[in-house]
Amino acid sequence: MRAEYSALDVMGTTESIRQQLNQLRGSNTIILGIGNLLKGDDGAGPRLCQQLTGKVCAEIIDAGTVPENYIQPIIKKAPANLLVIDSMDFGAPAGTIGIFKPEQLSSVVTSTHTLSPRLFAQVVRHNIKVNIYFVGIQPAQTQLGELVSPQVRYAIQRLSHVITSIFPLEK
């Protein structure tokens, strides 16, 4: 998907990502991964979900290419925050991580998903009060049958590290 953004939205360092997401610490949060594992970097969301499962206190949902199938379960759980992890084309170097509010996403996006991310957010927000953040990873390639690029693989690792530090499992 292509997002509209300003330079301030793009998080260049692991520390800047941590600072932006740290406000969610201790909150009831759902992490929703979106993407197609068969299309290289487009599978960033589900790959991150795989890495986080069993390692964080936030609920993890791997929505694959059908996030609309998870609207009702999200509404029923009524989280304070919803982190949507997806491969997003926002014109940055491959592997760059950007954090966006739904209002910052273009209403006309190129996406592998049947429901636009902005419309997805509108439907969820119409039913519950929730803060929604789109965490986008700039892809290098999203061709069918391609492997995940080294840049996106590294970005997934960085994000996994940050999220596990913000939502540690209770001991």
Q: Which two tokens stand for residue 62?
A: 């791997």
Domain count for the chain: 1
Q: Convert the pLDDT of each residue in 114-155 to its tens digit.
A: 567 888 999 999 999 999 999 999 999 999 999 999 999 999
Residue 68, domain extent: 7-166
**Domain contains 171:** no
Q: Is the pLDDT of residue 81 over 70?
A: yes
- Distance separating alpha carbons of residues 89 and 82, to the nearest angstrom: 20
What is the rounded average pLDDT for all residues in the chain?
87
**Domain contains 99:** yes
**Domain contains 122:** yes
- Distance separating alpha carbons of residues 25 and 20, to the nearest angstrom: 11
Query: Which amino acid type is present at position 87?
Result: S
**Domain contains 1:** no
**Domain contains 123:** yes
- Which of 1-15, 40-54, 81-95 has the highest average model confidence (pLDDT)? 40-54
Q: Residue 81 contacts by C-beta under 8 Å, 6 or more apart in sequence? A: 24, 27, 28, 29, 30, 130, 131, 132, 133
Q: What is the CATH number of the domain that holds 133?
A: 3.40.50.1450
**Domain contains 157:** yes
Q: Is the pLDDT of residue 82 over 90?
A: yes
Q: What is the pTM of this model?
A: 0.88
Residue 90's CB is within 10 A of a number of other CB atoms, namely 20
Share of the chain above pLDDT 70, in %: 87
Cα dihedral sign, 102-129-29-121: negative
Query: Bridge-partner residues for 81, per DSSP?
Result: 29, 131
Give the model's pLDDT for residue 6. Answer: 39
